[in-house]
Structure 1
């Protein structure tokens, strides 16, 4: 089964309270990227996420993905839950989705949290995404998983793993790569929301993953500098804060949203 523009994405809905939309990263999913902190987030919010085409239970797309199409699906999911306003948390590629959503619906977004993310892919990120795409298409999924461990884990965490642990991690990851990986990674290379940054007026937290080999901290800080309302929190993690430092990541998000909660 393939996805058409009118097909609704698979949704995750948890908790109660003010709305919080989740936008996941390329090659991930709502559960894969936010599952480790879902309990904390849903304790104080009505959490709504959608899985991009080819992730979770959403069928693979039959056409290239676009940021605006992902935004439309997230807002439709919010509407279905009766959420007029909401905060938005975007991780990696999901950060670009969150930024575009805030630019298009400023009256509905109460706060933004952008983690390990970018407004556009620099040469390094584009090259990494290109290799990621090619390895997936080649069918060398265990090699791709090894590459992703190299490009996503912080140096201390990677160096703490034994060869046997690395092998097991790669095998597990290879078996769970979303079928929509090529389309999602292709969007990483094309996404560009730099034109939306200066107009963002809602409270914004940029969580910079300072040991991130995939999305450089420099690129993350450039994004923060271009958003007038942004504050920066540094998290000593690679590209997977939900795997390396979930409790700290959840606390940064939760504390920020609590400070900017609309009663």
Structure 2
């Protein structure tokens, strides 16, 4: 029998060797899409464990289980089933809310938080993005939706595009876009973890994209302010999705945080 408070038939990723790092992906993403470079860079020293939310990867769509509590409990269960009693969590965007929720609901399991381009509450920028995103998804205009999502890239990225590069980015977005993307986006627009943030008492670092056009940079800074003792690291020119060079710097900072706190 399926536990009512866990994701049914979850698509779980567990790879690498060594101490664990558990991954909580963003809305419209997946473990592979959001953390592929992290997995590649860290799998020689870390075991990376992640769970694709309903409608991402091979996890069946199930809008009724798209709830941060269910996702948090399911992610913790995945890590425990992979053989780990305690572990830090790396969350991205919506995944930061999942990670914070997991830390509060499972304080005996979660030892540290690494929160990337996240939020404790959705701001008006995120709400407007989700309104447009879900309207395009409802029309089933996949190419227009992919073009819209690409248009939310950082100015530095968009400034380097010619038409061919833009078309390539749109094609890649179409290829990676999950069936449950719009439902996950709606969840992101409803999150409120402010009270949970105030309860966090473990090492936490918050990473800000200084040119984020999905979550306002100031909103991610407010996430850090809501968590007692959190460290803030800002990448001035980064958007919501890091470029490979930006991700390399982020991964170095992840390594340093994990090492400094012996996580």
TM exceeding 0.5: yes
Distance in 1, matches of 2:253 and 2:189, equals: 28
The TM-score with structure 2 as length reference comes to 0.94
Give CA-to-partner distance per residue, 1:129-153, whole Å, 9 cap, x none: 11111111211111111111111x1
**Offset, 1:40:** 2.0
Distance in 2, matches of 1:204 and 1:95, equals: 11
Distance in 1, matches of 2:216 and 2:201, equals: 25
Distance in 1, matches of 2:106 and 2:262, equals: 18
RMSD over aligned Cα atoms: 1.7
Distance in 2, matches of 1:182 and 1:171, equals: 18
**Offset, 1:63:** 2.0
Quick check: 2:6–2:74 contact (8 Å CA) kept in 1? no
The structure-2 alpha-carbon separation of the partners of 1:140 and 1:69, relative to structure 1 and needing over 3 Å to count, comes to: same
Extract unaligned runs of 5+ from structure 2.
none
Alignment correspondent of 2:202? 202
Alignment correspondent of 1:131? 132
Q: How do 1:85-96 residues align onto structure 2 when only pairs under 5 Å count? A: 85-96=86-97
Alignment correspondent of 1:231? 231
Give CA-to-partner distance per residue, 1:175-220, whole Å, 9 cap, x none: 3310011210110111111111111010100011111111111000
How many correspondences in the alignment? 259
Extract unaligned runs of 5+ from structure 1.
none
Quick check: 1:237–1:244 contact (8 Å CA) kept in 2? no
Distance in 2, matches of 1:99 and 1:194, equals: 10
Alignment correspondent of 1:83? 84
**Offset, 1:8:** 3.2
Extract structure 1 runs of 4+ deviating beyond 3 A: 3-6
Give CA-to-partner distance per residue, 1:88-108, whole Å, 9 cap, x none: 000000000000111111221
Distance in 1, matches of 2:165 and 2:110, equals: 42
